[in-house]
Amino acid sequence: MQAFKSRTVIFTVVLVVIISALVFWLSTTSDNQLVSAEQNKQTMDVKTPSAQQNKQAASVEDLLANLEQKLQNQPDNMQGWLLLAKSYRYLQRDSAAQSALEKAQALGFKGTLDVAQTDASRKPNPVDQLSTPLPMNDLLQNYLVKNTTKSKNSGRAKTHSIAKNTGSILLRVSLSEALTQTVSPDTTVFIFVRPYINQQIVAGPPLAAVRKQVRDLPLYIALNDQMAMLPDHNISSTEQVVVGARLAISGNPVKQAGDIEEISQAVSTATQPTVSLVISNVFAAKSQG
C-alpha cells in the first residue's frame, strides 16, 4: 500500500510540474483566456493532487497540443522545443522527447535530457532532476520542496523506529524428555515476556502472554505487541526482556507450588531475538539466540 501511495504522489507531482511549466510558457507568449483559466485552476488544485490526476492528465495533453501547434508557427523558438522535450521526457515518451530535443539542438541548445534512460530502476526522481528548473510559480515550488522533504524524513523516521525496536521475539518451547513421560498433554503452559531493567526482572503484568497446552509442544511462536495485556505496555516499550514458559500444574496463571518454570537470559529488543526454552525440573535460564 505504501509503495502504491508513493507512486501516486510522484505521478501527480510530475503532472503538476509539466502543467505549471506549459501554462507559464504559453501564458507569456499568448493572451489566450483558456490558458489563464487553466493556470488559475492548477494553482488551486496543487494542495489536493490526489483528487486531480485524471483532470491533470487531460490538461497535459491539451497543453502539449497547444504548444505543438504554437511551435508549428514558431519553428525557430528553441525554448519552446526544449520545454516540449522536457515534458515528453517526464511522461516517458522517449521518441517524441528525442525529436523535440533535436529541434532545440539545431537551434543552438547544447545540453541533453538523457531520454535514452528507460530502465525503471534508474529513472530519476522528477523533483531531484530539476537542476535546470522548468518555469513554475512559488506556490508550486514550495509544494514540491515541502512534500519531497516530508516524504524523505518520514522514511528515515520509520527506518530508525524499526532499527530501534522490532517489537517481536521468536520463541521455541519444548519439554524435557523426562517431563514428556510424566506430564499430562492437557497441562496448561503459560508463555510470557517480562521487562528486564537494571539487571532485574520486573514484576507485574507481562509485556506479552500466550496460553497453550503440553500437547502443543514443541512450539514455535512469534511473540509480539499484539499479545500485550495493557496498552503501551508491550515488547516495544522496553530495551531488554526475558521470556518465560511455565507448566501450570494447577492451571492458575499465577505461579503456584508444584509449577515448573523456565526463564531465558535477558535479550535485547533492538533486533528480533530468537529464544529457545526447554522446560525441565531445573529452574535455570536456558539458551538465547
Most confident of 51-65, 67-81, 88-102, 191-205: 191-205
Ranges 74-83, 213-222, 255-264: which has the least confidence: 74-83
Would you state the pLDDT for residue 193? 96
Residues ≥6 apart with Cβ < 8 Å to 62 = 38
How confident is residue 184, by pLDDT bands cut at 50, 70 and 90? very high
In contact, 108 and 81? CB cutoff 8 Å: no
Pick the CATH number of 168-279 from 2.60.120, 1.10.3470, 3.30.420, 2.60.40: 2.60.40
In the predicted model, is pLDDT for residue 34 greater than 60? Answer: no
Report in angstroms the alpha-carbon separations of 9 from 4, 132, 148, 159.
9, 22, 10, 20
Share of the chain above pLDDT 90, in %: 28
Q: How far is CA 87 from CA 122, 138, 264, in A?
A: 18, 20, 62
- What is the structure's pLDDT at 181? 87
Count the neighbouring beta carbons within 10 Å of the beta carbon of residue 167.
20
* Domain edges within the chain: 2-161, 168-279
* Most confident of the ranges 3-12, 173-182, 275-284: 173-182
pTM of the model: 0.43
What is the band of 44 on the pLDDT scale with cuts at 50, 70, 90?
very low
As a whole number of Å, the end-to-end CA separation of the chain is 33
What is the chain's mean pLDDT, rounded? 71
Residue 172's region, left for phi above 0, alpha for psi from -120 to 50, else beta, is: beta
Whether 196 has a pLDDT exceeding 80, the answer reads: yes
User: How many Å apart are CA 115 and CA 125, to the nearest integer?
Assistant: 14
Residue 156: per-residue pLDDT:
52
